[in-house]
């Protein structure tokens, strides 16, 4: 199960909350229009139930983790 959202005033970032069993993961991807394939990033962070998704998303944008090239 997944839920996708964007944060106002952030450009080129989209986020998705993914429920995996009893755990929740926030995935974020940065896709600048016109970016080269190598410039597209997919990042993720595990979340605790009490954490605010927007707070985790801002932290992920500032310090990307698990950065991988996004699949075309």
pLDDT at 34 over 70: no
pTM of the model: 0.68
> To the nearest whole percent, how much of the chain has pLDDT over 90?
3
Structure tokens at 6: 């964007």
Give pLDDT tens digits for 41-65.
788 889 998 999 889 988 888 887 7
Find the angle CA(28)-CA(32)-CA(34) to the nearest 5 degrees.
145
CA 37 to CA 62: how far, in whole Å? Answer: 21
């Amino acid at each position: 199960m997944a839920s996708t959202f964007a944060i106002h005033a952030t450009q080129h970032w989209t986020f998705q909350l993914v429920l995996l069993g009893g755990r929740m993961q926030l995935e974020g991807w940065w896709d600048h229009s016109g970016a080269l394939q190598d410039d597209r990033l997919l990042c993720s962070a595990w979340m605790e139930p009490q954490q605010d998704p927007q707070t985790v998303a801002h932290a992920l944008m500032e310090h990307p983790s698990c950065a991988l090239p996004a699949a075309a």
